[in-house]
């Protein structure tokens, strides 16, 4: 009898969670990340402004495209010094004498 009552209670509890829009799911990860994942899930379940901020940050982090290559070269090509005639030769003068 206790077994059926326990199953019924669990079924009712899960039905209440479903009505609130909650879902149960399993996640595989490192054991060291368990508390972090649980705390994130707890914050997201509260559905407030903090949860929206976390969602936004996670979405941006997870969907971020890898950095484009050639960024430095493109920046140099956009430089205002492009096309100017600069004299970048260095004077070849012997250094000063140092008395050691």
pTM for the whole thing? 0.52
pLDDT in tens, 60-91: 888 877 767 778 888 888 888 888 888 888 88
Burial of 15 (0-12, 13-18, 19+ CB in 10 A): exposed
Distance, CA of 92 to CA of 87 (rounded, Å): 14
The string of pLDDT tens digits covering residues 28-58 is: 999 999 999 999 999 998 878 999 999 999 9
Report how far residue 60's alpha carbon sits from residue 54's, in angstroms, rounded to the nearest whole number.
10
Q: Can you read off the two tokens belonging to residue 62? A: 């997870």
C-beta of residue 24 within 8 angstroms of C-beta of residue 14: yes
Query: Percent of the chain having pLDDT more than 90?
Result: 41
């Amino acid at each position: 009898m206790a077994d059926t009552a326990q199953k019924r209670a669990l079924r009712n509890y899960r039905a209440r969670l479903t009505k609130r829009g909650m879902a149960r799911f399993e996640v595989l990860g490192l054991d060291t990340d368990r508390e972090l994942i649980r705390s994130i899930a707890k914050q997201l379940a509260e559905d407030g402004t903090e949860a929206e901020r976390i969602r936004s940050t996670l979405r941006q982090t997870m969907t971020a495209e890898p950095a484009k290559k050639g960024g430095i070269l493109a920046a140099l090509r956009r430089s205002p010094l492009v096309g100017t005639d600069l004299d970048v030769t260095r004077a070849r003068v012997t250094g000063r004498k140092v008395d050691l």
